[in-house]
């Protein structure tokens, strides 16, 4: 994108239009539509993409009728500052008057540049006049300038309204004044004759909800108040509470937003009482569409990635204008509705009312579903899906501001080791220092700053460090250091001399740790050891395999499955017993693992990168979805797998590709995940149905239990296919199955549509996505195992958790034939299939 053409066409000494210099802008990516009375009257439609406004001239203006395709001629990019321009262009190119027709923010679910290059941009507008979903589609017509069509999507805002219908008095006067040619006179006459407002989204009937709210035990009539209200907060716990008196929700990775509605006016607030309406107009519009007179809503603002998961980095970038990800307000409480104070009613009744309210709500409002009881299972699911954690709440709890034990948060934390390279001076009552400054090894002997940690220290640690490390600081780093935080003030630097193990919640935009907390100071490690950790480049594979007797299992009597008395040694013995079947399919694949160092009753977490202390596991530097490079671990042999068990690994979740060919998949996996009240026989029948449809496409498939409720149907690929092809096929197939059998399947992860149906999960088919390995244990009560089975034996099973740590070795001992024998000899690809499906 360049502003060169914009500069060429203008003499800035004669025009009032803004020069392109100094056009940087902070905040949400904006759109603007300007009514331009040039020689030919038209509407200039502009979308901010990066640091410019991509621009199209739309002669007749936008139409809300989805059947109308409005010609949009692509013109030169404009500076972002042009969005503020109004008035007369007195000389040269584009001479005429300019009015602002509409202005707001916009978003798109996909890669904007890729969509534009492909010739079809799907997006949403959040302005005063233009709302809802729209399309820009490149025309096949040959014109001097690229021609597109601007088309309204058929959504809740669609209707019989044209741009001229929405002109205000000022714009109508400008139109009449500029009417010189027959065409502009006709436009002026038409704009005066027709006056319509922008259509409103269809609203949810709320009378029945108001009546239901008043009927809830504990509800009390109160006058509405549109002011900020302090939110209820959760206390941190390491493990989920037990029992059916608790419900468990996803802990969304975003920003807490409180909403007050009084007399129909919507006000949104951050957790610390800052107004947010201007920052999230799409959310405000969606709430307005509910048609409520008064309410209080509590939820989390998130950005949604391509897999439908919350993405905190995308949220930050969207709010700062660096990205355009769709935002969703995930609502989880309703303490007030239509004149009724519900703060003293039971949570489960408030949530039932909230779910009814959101049943037909706009897409930017989501309902945060929950499970009653089975906190361990919900937390395991959250870890498997790499979510931030869960929130556990008392089923019958009231809503009261502040932190209390009715709401508990259980997080999935990542942990790693870093060198201590400095400290900040102590402030207030803190002794010795404020925080430790951390770094990781970089290239050519340099160090890369990753952030600071100021919590998790004991008084003894503070005293000891105050006498040693925190006495040697210098104003400048004594070693080569990259990416120093410019916000650091008064930092003192030291040579790397200590290693800190730190919990954290992901990596932020600037490569800094998010919410780090000290786990331990590793007195057994030196900074030099970090060069052999997860940041080290891949080591060449050993020519001779390592023997498993080289691995010592420490603390063999530690109980890993507390309800079953299964110890760490039992886990190691199990993996030794199944190694001939377990290892070949997972060797040399990037393989995240679920680690439970203290057993499944304590904190468990997923780890995909290698860590200090591993000596028999392979490492590979791979590109992540964000584009950043990261060092992944992968098993090479029996010794490597047992070493991971020694480090507390219980579950193994490999990629569908190998480390040497990470961009190509040799497996397609469909996860059949049954909703509530789905009988096991239906799951078996559904798997057979999936197999039948795959066979019609010429694809052979295999089946395994998951150690949970469902089944995996696995399609081998030879030759391997690009991830984009695999993902497109998997999604298209799942959606086709859901469309052909809507009473049996759904292809969306939304809990509210999965009741009584089987979710055909295709999201395990993306670069970096994983699925549990065959013969892997699951970190669940009873120590179930994911096991390959023959299609003919499927009907003999009672559940997806039929096999356990005790029964699988016996089954393999008497097994004459591998149920998946021949899977690696199957020759089938996706090219012909994609042609059949038209994908």
Q: Across residues 296-301, what is the average pLDDT?
A: 95
Q: pLDDT tens digits, residue range 104-123?
A: 989 888 788 888 988 899 99
Q: Across residues 65-70, what is the average pLDDT?
A: 92
Share of the chain above pLDDT 70, in %: 89
DSSP 479: S
Residue 185's pLDDT is: 60
Residue 596 preceded by cis peptide, ω within 30: no
3-state secondary structure 130-170: CEEEEEEEECCCCCCCCEEEEEECCCCCCCCCEHHHHCCHH
Q: Across residues 765-782, what is the average pLDDT?
A: 94
219 and 209 Cβ atoms separated by less than 8 Å: no
Nearest of 760, 762, 756 to residue 743 by alpha carbon: 756
329 and 301 Cβ atoms separated by less than 8 Å: yes
Residue 282 — φ and ψ, nearest 5°? Answer: -65, -35
Burial class (CB in 10 A: 0-12, 13-18, 19+), 714: buried
- pLDDT band, very low/low/confident/very high, at 542 (cuts 50, 70, 90): very low
CATH class of 548-652: alpha beta
709 Cβ neighbours under 8 A, 6+ residues apart = 673, 674, 683, 799, 800, 801
Q: Name which of 6-15, 296-305, 538-547, 621-630 the model is least confident about.
A: 538-547
Residue 422 — φ and ψ, nearest 5°? Answer: 165, -170
760 and 747 Cβ atoms separated by less than 8 Å: yes
Domains 548-652 and 664-837 share a fold: yes
pLDDT exceeds cutoff 70 at 22: no
Residue 556 — φ and ψ, nearest 5°? Answer: -60, -25
Position with higher pLDDT, 517 vs 678: 678
| All structural domains of the chain with their residue ranges | 4-193, 207-411, 414-527, 548-652, 664-837
Dmax over Cα atoms in the chain, in whole Å? 93
- Pick the catalytic residue from 251, 393, 525, 608: 251
Residue 700's pLDDT is: 95
Query: What CA–CA distance (Å, rounded) separates 567 from 639?
Result: 19
Average pLDDT across the chain, whole number: 85
* Beta pairing class for 758-761 and 664-674: antiparallel
Name the CATH topology of 207-411. D-amino Acid Aminotransferase; Chain A, domain 1 (3.30.470)
782 and 564 Cβ atoms separated by less than 8 Å: yes
Name the CATH topology of 664-837. DNA primase, PRIM domain (3.90.920)
DSSP codes joined into one string, 771-819: -PPTT-B-SSTT-BB--EE-GGGGGG-SSTT--BTTHHHHHHHH--S-T
Residue 576 — φ and ψ, nearest 5°? Answer: -65, -40
* Beta pairing class for 389-394 and 402-411: antiparallel
Q: Which uninterrupted H or E stretch holds 687?
A: helix 680-696
Q: Name which of 201-215, 572-586, 812-826 the model is least confident about.
A: 201-215
Residue 114 — φ and ψ, nearest 5°? Answer: -65, -40
Q: pLDDT tens digits, residue range 194-220?
A: 566 666 655 567 888 899 999 999 999
Query: pTM for the full model?
Result: 0.51
Q: 414-527 has which CATH code?
A: 2.40.50.140
Position with higher pLDDT, 733 vs 313: 733
Query: What CA–CA distance (Å, rounded) separates 450 from 530?
Result: 14
User: 185 catalytic, yes or no?
Assistant: no
Q: Name which of 406-410, 529-533, 753-757 the model is least confident about.
A: 529-533
pLDDT exceeds cutoff 80 at 832: yes
836 Cβ neighbours under 8 A, 6+ residues apart = 697
Query: What CA–CA distance (Å, rounded) separates 819 from 712?
Result: 14
Q: Across residues 314-321, what is the average pLDDT?
A: 82
Nearest of 778, 74, 728, 754 to residue 367 by alpha carbon: 754
Query: What CA–CA distance (Å, rounded) separates 253 from 515?
Result: 12
């Amino acid at each position: 994108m360049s502003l060169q053409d914009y500069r060429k066409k203008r003499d800035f000494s004669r025009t009032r239009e803004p020069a392109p210099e100094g056009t940087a802008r902070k905040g949400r990516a904006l759109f603007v539509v300007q009514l331009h009375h040039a020689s030919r009257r038209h509407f200039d439609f502009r979308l901010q993409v990066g640091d410019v406004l991509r621009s199209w001239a739309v002669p007749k203006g936008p139409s809300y009728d989805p059947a109308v395709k409005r010609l949009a001629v692509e013109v030169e990019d404009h500076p972002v500052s042009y969005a503020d321009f109004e008035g007369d262009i007195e000389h040269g190119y584009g001479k005429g008057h300019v009015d602002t027709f509409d202005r707001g923010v916009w978003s798109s679910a996909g890669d904007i540049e890729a969509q534009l290059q492909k010739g079809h941009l799907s997006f949403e507008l959040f302005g005063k006049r233009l709302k809802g979903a729209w399309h820009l589609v490149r025309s096949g017509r040959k014109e001097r300038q690229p021609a597109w069509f601007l088309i309204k999507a058929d959504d809740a805002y669609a209707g019989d309204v044209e741009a001229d219908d929405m002109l205000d008095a000022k714009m109508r006067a400008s139109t009449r004044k500029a009417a010189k040619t027959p065409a502009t006179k006709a436009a002026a006459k038409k704009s005066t004759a027709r006056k319509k407002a922008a259509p409103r989204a269809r609203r949810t009937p709320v009378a029945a909800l108001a009546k239901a709210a008043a009927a809830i035990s504990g509800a009390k009539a109160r006058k509405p108040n549109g002011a900020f209200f302090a939110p209820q907060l959760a206390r941190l716990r390491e493990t989920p509470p037990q029992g059916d008196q608790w419900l468990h929700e996803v802990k969304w990775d975003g920003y807490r937003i409180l909403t007050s509605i009084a007399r129909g006016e919507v006000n949104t607030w951050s957790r610390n009482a800052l107004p947010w309406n201007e920052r999230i107009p799409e959310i405000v519009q969606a709430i307005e569409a509910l048609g409520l007179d008064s309410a209080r809503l509590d939820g989390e603002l998130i950005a949604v990635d391509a897999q439908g998961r919350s993405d905190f980095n995308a949220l930050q970038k969207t709010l700062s204008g660096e990205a355009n990800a769709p935002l969703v307000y995930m609502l989880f409480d309703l303490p007030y509705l239509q004149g009724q104070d519900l703060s003293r009613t039971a949570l489960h009744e408030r949530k039932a009312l909230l779910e009814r309210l959101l049943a037909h709500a706009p897409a930017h409002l989501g309902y945060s579903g929950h499970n009653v009881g089975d906190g361990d299972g919900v937390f395991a699911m959250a870890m498997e899906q790499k979510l931030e954690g869960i929130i556990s709440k008392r089923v019958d709890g009231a809503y009261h501001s502040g932190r209390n034990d009715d709401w508990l948060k259980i997080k999935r934390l990542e942990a790693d080791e870093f060198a201590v390279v400095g400290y900040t001076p102590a402030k207030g009552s803190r002794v010795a220092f404020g925080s430790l400054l951390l770094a990781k090894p970089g290239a050519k002997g340099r160090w890369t700053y990753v952030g600071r940690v100021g919590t998790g220290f004991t008084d003894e640690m503070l005293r000891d460090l105050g006498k040693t490390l925190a006495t040697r600081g210098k104003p400048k780093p004594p070693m080569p250091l990259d990416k120093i935080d410019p916000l650091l003030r008064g930092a003192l630097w030291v040579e790397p001399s200590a290693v800190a193990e730190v919990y954290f919640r992901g990596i932020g935009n600037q490569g800094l740790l998010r919410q780090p907390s000290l786990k331990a100071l590793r007195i057994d490690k030196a900074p030099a050891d970090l060069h052999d950790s997860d940041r080290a480049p891949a080591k060449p594979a050993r020519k001779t395999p390592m023997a498993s007797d080289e691995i010592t299992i420490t603390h063999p009597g530690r109980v890993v499955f507390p309800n079953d008395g299964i110890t760490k040694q039992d886990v190691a013995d199990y993996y030794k017993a199944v190694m001939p079947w377990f290892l070949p399919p997972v060797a040399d694949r990037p393989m995240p693992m679920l680690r439970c160092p203290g057993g499944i009753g304590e904190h468990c977490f997923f780890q995909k990168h290698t860590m200090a202390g591993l000596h028999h596991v392979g490492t590979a530097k791979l590109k992540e979805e964000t584009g950043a490079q990261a060092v992944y671990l992968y098993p090479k042999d029996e010794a490597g797998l047992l070493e991971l068990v020694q480090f507390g690994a219980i579950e193994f979740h490999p990629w569908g590709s190998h480390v040497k060919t990470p961009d190509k998949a040799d497996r397609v996996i469909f996860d059949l995940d049954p909703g509530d009240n789905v009988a096991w026989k239906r799951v078996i029948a559904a798997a057979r149905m999936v197999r039948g449809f795959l066979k019609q496409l010429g694809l052979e498939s295999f089946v395994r239990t998951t150690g949970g409720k469902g089944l995996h149907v696995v399609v081998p690929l030879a030759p391997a296919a690009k991830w984009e092809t695999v993902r497109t096929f998997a999604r298209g197939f799942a959606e086709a199955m859901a469309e052909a059998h809507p009473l049996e399947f759904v292809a969306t992860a939304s809990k509210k549509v999965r009741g009584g149906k089987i979710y055909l999960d295709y999201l395990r088919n993306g670069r970096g996505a994983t699925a549990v390995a065959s013969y892997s244990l699951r970190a669940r009560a009873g120590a179930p195992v994911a096991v390959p089975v023959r299609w003919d034996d499927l009907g003999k099973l009672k559940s997806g958790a039929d096999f356990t740590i005790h029964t699988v070795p016996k089954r393999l001992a008497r097994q004459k034939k591998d149920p998946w024998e021949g899977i690696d000899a199957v020759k089938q690809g996706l090219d012909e299939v994609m042609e059949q499906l038209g994908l």
